[in-house]
Amino acid sequence: MKVAASILNCNFLHLAQEIKAVEAAGVDALHLDVMDGHFVPNLSFGVPILKSVRKITNLPIISHLMVIKPEDLIDKFINDSDGVVFHIEATECLDHTSVCLRQIHQARKLAGISLNPETPIESVFKYANQVEEILVMSVHPGFGGQAFIPESIDRIRLIKKHLASVNSKALIAVDGGVNGKNAQRLKEAGVDILIAGTSIFQAPSYKQAIEELRCSK
């Protein structure tokens, strides 16, 4: 089980130390939430922060674009990211999903598609063999610190089943309200990557929090 740290709720006054701390605590990747105030009712950070983070870590960085028209922004984030995840709700209505996937793959980076809790899981099925990751939102995107939506577990199970049925190698990531209490159930449902913000950055020991997420009994 891989664990990615979402820095949205870390202490930004000490961003470098926070990143070094999760790195030392054994996290597998960093997850950067990019919000545009349109796709989600919140703003977060953009390219300057990504570039600054890139300079101080060798950890894989995945940019999670919670934006409308990701096709207009992917090229700004792609160079300093190891992977880019965008939302199916932002692209499918305009038929831009394949355009976004092409942009990411042309840069030889990992491509992920994310879906919101109320989005039918079937909407991502046709991309099962074109993505490296499917990111299941287990909260409504826009804010850290929300409660995990339990129905996400069944959604993950069904997505996993579909991926297996079409021999897809795509990994399943889950994002939102992930903690030591639900990690085991998520693992059993088929999750490969747990993305956690609050449960790591609010913990007294990042190492312990990450270990609990990774191998919880």
Catalytically active residues, by annotation: 33, 175
Do residues 113 and 88 lie in contact, with contact meaning Cβ atoms separated by under 8 Å?
A: yes
**DSSP letters spanning 155-195:** HHHHHHHHHHHTT---EEEEESS--TTTHHHHHHHT-SEEE
Q: Which H helix or E strand runs over 16?
A: helix 15-24
Nearest Cα to 193, choosing from 161, 160, 165? 160
Binding segment (CB under 5 A) for Zn ion, from list 16-24, 62-70, 92-100, 165-173: 62-70
**Least distance (Å) between residue 54 CB and ligand DX5:** 18
Min dist. Cβ of residue 173 to Zn ion (A): 9
3-state secondary structure 43-79: ECCCHHHHHHHHHHCCCCEEEEEECCCHHHCHHHHCC
Point out the residue whose Cβ comes nearest to ligand DX5.
Answer: 197
- Of 82 and 102, which has the nearer Cβ to ligand DX5? 82
Q: How far is Cα 131 from Cα 46, in angstroms, rounded to an integer?
A: 24
Contact between residue 194 and residue 1 where contact means Cβ atoms under 8 Å apart: yes
Among 4, 64, 70, 186, binds Zn ion (CB under 5 A): 64
Q: Which is nearer to ligand DX5, 178 or 186 (CB)?
A: 178
> Is residue 133 a contact point for Zn ion (CB under 5 A)?
no
Q: Name the binder of 198 from Zn ion, ligand DX5, none, CB < 5-8 A by kind.
A: ligand DX5
By CB under 5 A, residue 175 contacts Zn ion: yes
Rounded CA gap, 45 and 55, in Å?
16
By C-beta, is 25 or 62 nearer to Zn ion? 62
Q: How many CB atoms lie within 10 A of CB 190?
A: 19
Residues that bind ligand DX5 (CB under 6 A): 6, 8-9, 31, 33, 64, 139, 141-146, 175-178, 195-199
Conformational region of residue 185, where left means phi above 0, alpha means psi within -120 to 50, and beta covers everything else: alpha
Stretches 22-30, 71-79, 171-179, 181-189: which one binds Zn ion (CB under 5 A)? Answer: 171-179
Among 21, 29, 32, 33, binds Zn ion (CB under 5 A): 33
How does DSSP classify residue 127?
G
In the complex, least distance from residue 164 CB atom to ligand DX5, rounded to whole angstroms: 26
Q: In the bound complex, what is the minimum distance in angstroms from residue 166's beta carbon to ligand DX5?
A: 26
> Footprint of Zn ion on this chain (CB under 5 A)?
33, 64, 175
